[in-house]
Chain A
Amino acid sequence: MRPFLLFLRRNQLAALGGAVLLLILAAIVFGPMVGPYSPTRLDVLNKLAAPSLQHWLGTDSLGRDVFTRVLYGGRYTLAIGTGVVAIAFVVGVFFGTLAGYAGGVVDQVIMRIVDAMLSFPALVLAIALAAAFGPSLSNAMLAVAITLAPQFARVARSQALAISVKPYVEAAISLGLSDLRILWRYVFANGLGPLLVQASLSIGSAVLQTASLGFLGLGAQPPLAEWGADVSSNLQFMRESPWVALSPGMAILLVVLCFNLIGDSLADWFNPRRRSEID
């Protein structure tokens, strides 16, 4: 707990990002419980209403309350961000650690595949995969996770390469522990720090990419209140009612900004040269 508090005290921007993120989390968890509107309830007599005390962010073209949809969309967005990174983390770290620990042909094969996947602009690969899988939120998440996994594999491999020559790993080998146990208890556990930094930096990218897929119609489908899809489906009302499309867009910006603030500070914290500046 003490290192965590020290980190927050020395990284005020990260603390700010974390605090705003906690507020957003509280709003999206408890907001819809106390809010009077449903994200899918239509009210065509009250469509495209300007922001007011009844509808804080106005209503969309079908009369749905934009603020309620933004709150519900937040649930999806945070679930998407963490879900995508969790998938990418598990897959990438497994193959990266295996490559670094095993070496030889296994390393060569895995890393060439990683190199090939990193030879695409991430969004292009995600779009192409999502187009092949078919438009849906789960397919978009899978596509984004596939594009993020190679980055985890790279970090995990370099960690595994450095750790697998340490004396305690040699001692574990001498004790006759199985490869799987050594990988899990020593190689993975000791290389976790940089991987967590990578994870915190990746959540913002995951949210941005999935929202972009939603915007292009390759992610969440209507009437699901996903932020990227909500921006896209309200584009035609930008001139007269810009708040309808801009509200979910600004929500994406705010969440990604918070994650980037935390990720950036963590990256600095784990970098000894930059940390000396912070201290």
Chain B
Amino acid sequence: MISFILRRLVALIPVLILVLVIVFSLVRLIPGDPAVTLLGPGATNQQIEALRQQMRLDEPVVMQFLNYVAGLFQGDFGTSLKSGQPVLDQILLRLPATLELSICATVVAILFGIPIGVLSATRPNSLFDHFTRVFSLVGVSMPAFLLALILQLIFATYLGWLPVSGRVSPYIVVPQVTGFAILDGLLAGDWGAAWDAVEHLILPTAVLAAFLAATLGRFVRNTMLEVMTEDYIRTARAKGLTRAQVTLGHGLRNSLLPAVTVVGLKFAEMLGGAILTETIFAWPGIGRFMFEAIKNRDYPVIQGTTLVFSLIFVLTSLFVDLLYGVLDPRVRRRMK
């Protein structure tokens, strides 16, 4: 197992180097002189020169890249052009909000997606199956921003059941311990604050979870339909096992393993969707931070957030690979 982890880590090195090259190149893709573009038309020559030096644009490209990587290893993700604050500090400040939203959405998607997929597969071509297939297709075809607007309109504007946006109500004051609003409310013993955070979380979670639940439902259904044609299922039936034992003990168990990969990869992909969701719901995470940086042409922040999204993506893929080994004895044996 350890040698497998080491092999996976070594294989990551060239990919991570190329990821760094892509993120580093983002500023260099700006048409013309990046310093002039970033500062806008009113900038003086001195300001342009100062920014060029700050961004080390006057050095050879290879040196710029090496300095950039060396900086990253020392926790230096650059300085925001807008606020003048270190980018990493601002990302870390917002990361819990994005993780809280993504983790909740993943849990909700699993709770809905897997049972829907299983029930569809056990009753193929039934009314329930047709309904869930259409629901799943609509789910994966729905633009995240459209679903967000519809839910906001119904549940916040018309019915007034849930808040339109934000993470907690302005009158709630809870000391930040973990950065996770619900957890902080619970730790402070303030049930009202925790419930307020839950209410704020419901709509953005529903938007993010819809896509994953739809994808997961489709995937589990298709995998289970394939698994249920396998010889060992026939054997299980021939042994006299009940339908539930065959479906849950053999069908579902073998279908869930590939679903782990889908959940892992879609969790990371969902972070991309978080940019839209966080922007619409004014959710103070790194997705919204990236959007504001784009509006302000704050390239160090765009680079920093892009890199963090990519690192989460890569680490999630690695985690999924390892989890696969833990869950499936056959994979574990191959690893040895």
A211-228 interface with B by 8 A CB criterion: 211-212, 215-218, 228
Contact of A116 with B22 at beta-carbon distance under 8 Å, contacts A123-B275, A124-B310, A131-B294 already known: yes
Interface residues on B, range: 35 or more
Are A132 and B145 within 8 A (Cβ)?
no
- With A and B bound together, what is the CA distance between A53 and B14 in angstroms? 61
- Looking at A3-11, A44-52, A246-254, the stretch in contact with chain B turns out to be A246-254
B309 within 8 A of A: yes
B5 contacts chain A at the CB level, 8 A cutoff: no
Q: What residues of chain A lie closer than 8 Å to B31, measured between beta carbons?
A: 133-134
A212 touches B314 (CB 8 A): no
Identify which of B143, B157, B313 contacts A212 (C-beta below 8 A). Answer: B143
Nearest 4 CB-CB pairs, A to B? A116-B18, A121-B272, A123-B272, A249-B146
Residues on A with beta carbons closer than 8 Å to the beta carbon of B226: 273-274
Q: Quick one: closest A residue to B266, CB to CB?
A: A121
Q: Is B205 an interface residue (CB 8 A)?
A: no
7 A–B contacts, CB within 8 A, in A order: A121-B310, A129-B29, A211-B143, A218-B294, A228-B143, A235-B149, A238-B157
Give Cα distance in the complex from A133 to B143, angstroms: 24
Q: Which residues of A have CB within 8 Å of B199?
A: none
A212: which B residues are within 8 A, CB to CB?
143-145, 276
Partner of B18 from A113, A132, A239, A249 at Cβ < 8 Å: A113
B248 at the A interface (CB under 8 A): no
Are A121 and B268 neighbours in the complex by a CB distance under 8 Å? yes
Closest residue on chain B to residue A215 by CB atoms: B145
Give residues of chain B (1-26) contacting chain A, Cβ–Cβ below 8 Å. 14-16, 18-19, 21-23, 26
Q: Which of A190-249 contact B (CB under 8 A)?
A: 204, 208, 211-212, 215-218, 228, 231-232, 235, 238-239, 242, 245-246, 249
Give residues of chain B (119-162) contacting chain A, Cβ–Cβ below 8 Å.
137-138, 140-146, 149-150, 152-153, 157
CB–CB A260/B269 < 8 A: no
Query: Is A261 part of the binding interface, using a Cβ–Cβ cutoff of 8 Å?
Result: yes
B222 A132 Cβ-Cβ under 8 A: no
Closest A residue to B146 by beta carbon equals: A249
Among A117, A228, A252, contact of B22 (Cβ-Cβ < 8 Å): A117
Q: Is A122 an interface residue (CB 8 A)?
A: yes
A127 to B275, CA, bound (A): 9
Whether A115 pairs with B138 at a CB distance below 8 angstroms is: no
Measured in the bound complex, the distance between the Cα atoms of B222 and A218 in whole Å is 36
Q: Are B26 and A128 in contact (CB under 8 A)?
A: yes
B residues near A119, Cβ cutoff 8 Å:
15-16, 19, 310, 313-314, 317
Q: Does A27 contact B (CB under 8 A)?
A: no
Contact of B149 among A117, A246, A256 (CB under 8 A): A246
B290 within 8 A of A: yes
* B333 in contact (CB, < 8 A): no
Q: Which DSSP category, helix, strand, loop or mixed, fits chain B's interface? A: helix
Contacts of B295 in A (CB 8 A): 217
A residues 121-146 with Cβ under 8 Å of B? 121-125, 127-129, 131-134
Cα–Cα, bound, A166→B291 (Å): 49
Q: For residue B167, give the distance in angstroms from its CB to the closest CB of chain A.
A: 20
Within the complex, what minimum Cβ distance (angstroms) separates A147 from chain B? Answer: 10
Rounded to whole Å, the gap between the CB of A115 and the closest CB of chain B is 5
Contact A257 B137 (CB under 8 A): yes
Residues in A with CB closer than 8 Å to B29 are: 129, 132-133
Task: Determine whether the beta carbon of A239 is less than 8 Å from that of B157.
Answer: yes
List of B residues within 8 angstroms of A129 by Cβ: 26, 29
| A279 CB-CB contact with B under 8 Å | no
Complex CA–CA separation, A116 to B313 (angstroms): 11
Tell me the minimal C-beta distance from A146 to chain B in angstroms: 10
Complex Cα–Cα for A17 and B196 (A): 43
Q: Is the CB of B306 within 8 A of A249?
A: no
B contact residues around A131 at 8 Å (CB): 26, 294, 297, 302
Contacts of A56 in B (CB 8 A): none
Cβ of A47 to closest chain B Cβ, rounded Å? 20
Chain A CB within 8 A of B57 CB: no
Which of B150, B153, B294, B295: most chain A CB closer than 10 A? Answer: B294
Tell me, yes or no, whether A112 is within 8 Å of chain B by CB.
yes
Residue interface bits A251-279, CB-to-B below 8 A is 1, else 0: 01100110011001000000001100100
Extra 10 A-B pairs, beta carbons < 8 Å, given A120-B306, A124-B275: A112-B14, A112-B15, A121-B272, A121-B313, A123-B272, A131-B294, A231-B145, A238-B157, A256-B141, A264-B137
A211 to B290 Cα, complex, angstroms: 18
Cβ A216 vs Cβ B294 within 8 A: yes
B111 within 8 A of A: no
B-contacting residues, A88-130, CB 8 Å: 112-113, 115-117, 119-125, 127-129
Query: How far does the alpha carbon of A119 sit from the alpha carbon of B302 in the complex, in Å?
Result: 16
- For residue B91, CB closer than 8 A to chain A, the reply is no
> CA A115 – CA B138 in complex, angstroms?
30
B325 at the interface (CB under 8 A from A): no
Interchain nearest-CB distance for B98 vs A (Å)? 12
Q: How far is the CA of A268 from the CA of B116 in the complex (A)?
A: 20
